Structure 1
Amino acid sequence: MKRLLLIELLLAISFSLMAEGPVKKYKNPVVNYSLPDPSGIRAEDGYFYLYATEDIRNLPIHRSKDLVDWEFVGTAFTDETRPTLEPKGNIWAPDINKIGDKYVLYYSMSCWGGEWTCGIGVATADKPQGPFQDCGMMFRSNEIGVQNSIDPFYIEDEGRKYMFWGNFRGIYGIELSEDGLTVKSGAEKKKIAGIAYEGTYIHKKHGYYYLFASTGICCEGLESTYQTVVGRSKSLWGPYRDKRGRKMLDNNHEVLIHKNMNFVGTGHNAELMTDDAGDDWILYHGVSVSNPHGRVLLLDKVEWIKDWPVVKENSTSVESEAPQFHSSGWTSDNKR
């Protein structure tokens, strides 16, 4: 009798697995051409939209249903609508958000080496694929008093809106106006991390704020030393600390993703995204050793161990089980 019950149980498990079908796998990179400094959001049409530094001129937009298969759908701007914050500059490190009924795109604009003339601007659109209308400059480095003011990140917290930014000259934050398009009148900036970092992203989970950032050299091909790091705090404004309690203000952190034999320069992550199975995923860029042309788009699963984010082996996977999306159940803590 026991043997018969065991056989029935094994058959039930087998039929269940057959019904679910084979486990879907994916390989890195998920996009094998240059899409640096990604930022993503899921729109009302069910697609994930991803925006990146303009190695494709006028700031490329891609979309995907599953975070793995991406298609190019156009650019945020055209030559005619291109921002003029820095007329000869490039558009770097966008940050996409939904504020009210508008898609709001923050962007950096700079000439290489123009650390006091660069700045952050903002554009809006009714649809995630645009067209985006430039609303102009929010601030410039020499006006706000922060050298190399690029790499914007927007977050809402307790009903208020904030921007964090910075690039190897300290990470700073400031409160924004209700519509998110300007700095709030009278607001003062505050430094939350040291000079080792760029590419800020803050994620709320488990009662903590997690400050993700990147350290090292981003853009030297196979010589790039870029890596993704993280610290955490009980407050949005810090102090952010590593596991030993040392402050990110003093350039201390935990390494989340470092190089391996297949990918180097692994940094500047997008927003964490959660699949239908409840697993978190991180998109970021890196340099492929087998195809070292530009910074390709990479994807990995984030696990939470003792309330700290962990990527398997702290480095980019080659092949892994894909995110699970069976419905419209995608969530993101910071992009609602």
Structure 2
Amino acid sequence: MRLKHLFNFSIGLTSVLLAACNTDDLQPTGIVTKPKTPSTEFTPPTYADDYASIASWGNRTSWNLANVHDPSVVYDGEYYYMYGTDASYGNEHVGHGHFHGRRSKDLVNWTYIGASMPATPTWVKDTLNNIRERAGLTPIDAPTFGHWAPVVRKVGDKYRMYYSIIVDNYIESGKTNTPANFDGSWTERAFIGLMETTSLKDNTWTDRGMVVSSATDRGTNWSRANLDDWSAYFKWNAIDPSYVVTPENEHWLVYGSWHSGIVALEINPTTGKPDKLETLTDHGVRIARRQNSDANRWQAQEGPEIIYNETTGFYYLFLAYDELSVAYNTRVCRSTNITGPWVGIDGKDITQGGDCWPMLTHPYKFNNHSGWVGISHCAVLQDEASGEWYYASQGRLPENTGGNTFSNAIMMGHIRHIRWTDDGWPVVMPERYAAVPQTAIVKNDLVGTWENITMEYQYKTLQTSTTLTLGADGKTTGAFTADWTYDETKKVLTIGDLKLCVERGLDWEASPRNITLIYSGLTANGRPVWGKKK
């Protein structure tokens, strides 16, 4: 059982830092290529964060980044394409296919292009019922499916989409998962499937069938004590795929959520599938878990995204922590091997259950806005031409925003620029990416009043800003009391021992929206520090 099964979409970080941020030295290769032409012309995006008034299916051409959840982004040489979980405010997507896509030339303005899967493939039901028959269970005539969290990568001359389909029916009776139908068993397995296409523009995909399904070590003991029992029948949960190709041309699918942790499964490059699935071991090796206990299958982490940074020589594993509607926050760890050990900024072994730091995003609120919650399950992509990296996820409005009881079901796509520390850790910028021209920033530009958020981990709590003043005398007051300096070449603000990456960004909370200065950094123990100039 996974928490997402329970959420009804219809309602819906000491001040000693590591090192400077450096975008000149760290230019790793990545997964997209998009040339950029410097320009000082700029028009801020005007779409509303609260898109309830245009949430209907008939307004889908106006959605832009509205109704985005668990995005994956890939570039085809002309457009960025984004696909995600079937989720929309008011469930407006229902009946219109699955894994809905949109595309953009600038990562700012997006056009809805339709579903990539017209209908659930017949192999899902057939495979499910074949497994049930072997277990002595009756078939499920009309399974309740959920379509979640695809990942799209270019492999050779094809694009592969690995997608998740969950079966939301109880194992014992086959009835749909509702409290009234609870029969003392767990819900059924999930599947990861594969589709391929040679043209994203055509949006026509060929389904290649099952890649892996949820796996158990409990045989036919699928009983669940009650709805508060979270010990999970399935050890590996076949959802939330991510994909990486190593420099040695090994292909790996990284997947999983909650249950017993995150799994890495080697894939045959030609078929896009594992060579065999005969034993539990064939389903992959655990690479991350939140608690060092084989008995604990409520790990509260999911949504793995894996990338390789060629310059640092590390793989980076981004993880979503906690429940998705409010508390969602993003963590990252790194390793020189896909199978680990994966290590956090504090040296803890995430493979063996260490708590993962740094934290990169957390529910937050700047002034003049309701704030954002549920910010995680990210995609991480790179523009190979410029070397710049980006973080994409959803953000949700807090409950009762604007008096709307269902505002937490408003899911806006967020894209943020990533900067890197000299020690090779990513930091995510506090304001959403808007293609603001990056003209020179000199020390005097930083003098003045800022909003600062130094984030600690607080479950389901928005981190709010306090005032920071950078004086012309090189002193700070407010959130920090220390001397400050600025490196114009690296665009790094130093306050005491804290290093903060500075750039121009959009003040999304201002009315009208306008260009301002923003910063992001990490404390020594891996808590993010975000700021924007007033």
User: What TM-score bracket applies, with the shorter chain setting the length?
Assistant: 0.7 to 0.9
What's 1:139 paired with? 212
Matches within 5 A, 1:119-268: 119-128=191-200, 129-142=202-215, 146-157=235-246, 158-169=248-259, 170-185=261-276, 188=282, 189-194=284-289, 195-205=299-309, 206-219=312-325, 224-249=326-351, 250-253=353-356, 254-261=358-365, 262-268=371-377
Q: CA deviation at 1:25?
A: 4.8
Between structures 1 and 2, the one with greater strand share: 1
Q: 2:70 aligns with which of 29, 33, 37?
A: 37
Q: CA deviation at 1:237?
A: 1.6
Spell out, residue by residue over 1:84-120, the C-alpha distance to the aligned partner (whole angstroms, 9 max, x if none).
5155312100011122222211000013467541111
Check the 8 A contact 1:76/1:132 in 2, yes or no: yes
Report sequence identity in percent: 27
Q: 1:96 aligns with which of 131, 152, 170?
A: 152
SS in 2 for 1:59: strand
Q: CA deviation at 1:323?
A: 7.9
Write the distance in 1 (CA, Å) between the matches of 2:197 and 2:433. 36
Spell out, residue by residue over 1:138-158, the C-alpha distance to the aligned partner (whole angstroms, 9 max, x if none).
121137963422111111111
Does the C-alpha gap of structure 1 residues 215 and 74 become closer, same or farther in structure 2, counting only changes over 3 Å? same
Does the C-alpha gap of structure 1 residues 152 and 178 become closer, same or farther in structure 2, counting only changes over 3 Å? same
Write the distance in 1 (CA, Å) between the matches of 2:266 and 2:148. 22
Check the 8 A contact 1:150/1:167 in 2, yes or no: yes
- Which residue identity does 1:122 align to in structure 2? L
- Which residue identity does 2:76 align to in structure 1? A
What's 1:47 paired with? 79
SS in 1 for 2:375: strand
Spell out, residue by residue over 1:235-271, the C-alpha distance to the aligned partner (whole angstroms, 9 max, x if none).
2221111111001121421201111121101001113
SS in 1 for 2:98: coil
User: Is it true that 1:292 corresponds to 2:311 in the alignment?
Assistant: no
Does the C-alpha gap of structure 1 residues 68 and 319 become closer, same or farther in structure 2, counting only changes over 3 Å? closer
Please give the TM-score of this superposition, normalised by the length of structure 1: 0.80
Check the 8 A contact 2:102/2:112 in 1, yes or no: yes
Write the distance in 2 (CA, Å) between the matches of 1:323 and 1:180. 43
What's 2:428 paired with? 311
Give the root-mean-square deviation of aligned CA atoms. Answer: 2.7
Does the C-alpha gap of structure 1 residues 83 and 97 become closer, same or farther in structure 2, counting only changes over 3 Å? farther
Does the C-alpha gap of structure 1 residues 244 and 269 become closer, same or farther in structure 2, counting only changes over 3 Å? same
- Which residue identity does 1:296 align to in structure 2? M
- Which residue identity does 1:77 align to in structure 2? M
- Which residue identity does 1:252 align to in structure 2? D
Check the 8 A contact 1:97/1:154 in 2, yes or no: yes
What's 1:15 paired with? none
Does the C-alpha gap of structure 1 residues 235 and 244 become closer, same or farther in structure 2, counting only changes over 3 Å? same
Q: CA deviation at 1:321?
A: 5.0
Does the C-alpha gap of structure 1 residues 243 and 83 become closer, same or farther in structure 2, counting only changes over 3 Å? farther
Write the distance in 2 (CA, Å) between the matches of 1:130 and 1:321. 27
Check the 8 A contact 1:174/1:190 in 2, yes or no: yes
- Which residue identity does 1:67 align to in structure 2? L
Out of 62-71 and 105-114, give the one that drifted further.
Answer: 105-114
Does the C-alpha gap of structure 1 residues 214 and 173 become closer, same or farther in structure 2, counting only changes over 3 Å? same
Write the distance in 2 (CA, Å) between the matches of 1:117 and 1:71. 34
Does the C-alpha gap of structure 1 residues 229 and 294 become closer, same or farther in structure 2, counting only changes over 3 Å? same
What's 2:378 paired with? 269
Out of 232-241 and 20-29, give the one that drifted further.
Answer: 20-29
Gaps of 5+ in 2: 1-37, 50-62, 88-92, 126-142, 169-176, 178-185, 218-233, 290-298, 366-370, 402-406, 439-534
Does the C-alpha gap of structure 1 residues 20 and 122 become closer, same or farther in structure 2, counting only changes over 3 Å? closer
Gaps of 5+ in 1: 1-18, 325-336
Check the 8 A contact 1:38/1:52 in 2, yes or no: yes
Write the distance in 2 (CA, Å) between the matches of 1:149 and 1:121. 10
Q: How many matched pairs? A: 297
Select the structure of larger CA radius of gyration.
2
Write the distance in 1 (CA, Å) between the matches of 2:361 and 2:349. 19
- Which residue identity does 2:431 align to in structure 1? S
Q: CA deviation at 1:82?
A: 4.3
